[in-house]
Amino acid sequence: MTNPRWIALQVILQVVDVGRSLDEIFNSDWYRSLVLDKRDLALSRELVFGFCRWYFALSALLSGRLQKPLRARDRDIEVILILGLYQLLVMSTEPHAAVNETVKLALAQKKAWAKGLVNALLRGVVRDKIELDSNMSLNAYPDWVLARIRRDWGEQAEQVLIQGNARPPMTLRVDTRHAEIGAVINELSAAGIDASRHVRIESALELSSPCDVTQIPGFAQGVMSVQDAAAQIAAPLLGCGSHARVLDACAAPGGKTAHLLQHYENIKLDALDSSESRMHRLHQNLRRIDKAARVLIGDAASPETWFDGNNYDCILVDVPCSASGVMRRHPDIKLLRRESDIMPLLAHQRKILDVLWRLLNPGGRMLYCTCSIFKDENENQISKFLERHADCVEIELNDVDWGELRPHGRQILTGSDNMDGFFYGLLTKSGGK
């Protein structure tokens, strides 16, 4: 079928039943084989992202209006009902159309018995003039995420939660060595794309509305790349010298790899990641910007499988994390991430840091970063690392105007200057000249 609502339903069922990420699904052969015009594709993705973004709030609303819980085998009907609620309450779809199209989904799933339930429940929501209130917006997260954010950020938590449920901007990174920002803005405008300078990050342009990358002048030639402004901080902050030997650990899909190669001349860069499939996109990025790096497949915590014995002058460590800072951009994280994932992630981050520290030359710099807003993954992780390594000195990030200074490192909270949530901690190894 090419019905955009039916396709949205099938995508969501792969997330909730199989545990697949949206990135994985959207890059699958099945999804790429679908025949949808741009309007239907946009509607399908709107429904998918909206379902994930609002699931916990709409699920609570649904539970309160069901006379009895749905059976486990009727998970598809739960998804269908929430899609209907999303269209009514968030998209403001005309009620008759929203109800009828949602009923059709139940019939397409060969569950004619649910026709009356779907019809009655959605019409009841319209009749009772139900609206999404601020409470629903704040509670559109799993309970454990709410608890951590409120524990970590206190009075700031409410704003973090609101921003984490907002739609993210599409942000471009300009290769400022080969293009002038003002000229790029004019070129984009001529192509019908409205862009403005980011308030903090010199290389970043924020689009007023998302567009297909194929429409962006200079994208195919590597002059522009899609990258959140917070992620654009990494390459300049690392501070590589000429001819430095550099490791980009956990490098896929290669956004920071590309930035490093475009920002510094004559560095010798190793791009490492454990995922061979994700490295496909890194190779694409390298070809697009016409730069070379040595690409290594391996676990950053197990250098015996990839390290050649030559230490590095600079190491970028963008560790696997909860991704709690990018839930606005990847709302399926709310459904896929579990609280039980956090302790293993912390242990893996700790091991990667300790192992890679041994591969850093004296006087070298290591930049630790995450797309997380959880303190345990960020400032607390750095604090414990400093306790374990007497030869480690933290470089305080006092002379920048992004994020907020923490006891260790610097934290960007989700939505701050319209950026994703990110953490940076910059370290150097004593003993250098």
User: Using an 8 Å Cβ cutoff, are 52 and 335 in contact?
Assistant: yes
Angle at 250 between CA 145 and CA 425, to 5 degrees: 65
Interacting residues of 395 by C-beta distance below 8 A, sequence separation 6+? 365, 426, 427, 428
Buried b (16+ CB within 10 A) or exposed e, 7-44: bbbbbbbbbbeeebebebbeeeeebeeeebeeebeebb
Told to judge if 371 belongs to the known catalytic residues of this protein, a careful annotator would answer: yes
Catalytic residue from among 52, 250, 321, 371: 371
Cα angle value 373/377/378 (rounded, 5°): 70
Write out 133-157 in H/E/C secondary structure.
CHHHHHCCCCHHHHHHHHHHHHHHH
**CA dist., res. 5 & res. 84, Å (int):** 10
Q: What does the DSSP 8-state code read for residue 177?
A: T
Q: Which residues are catalytic?
A: 371
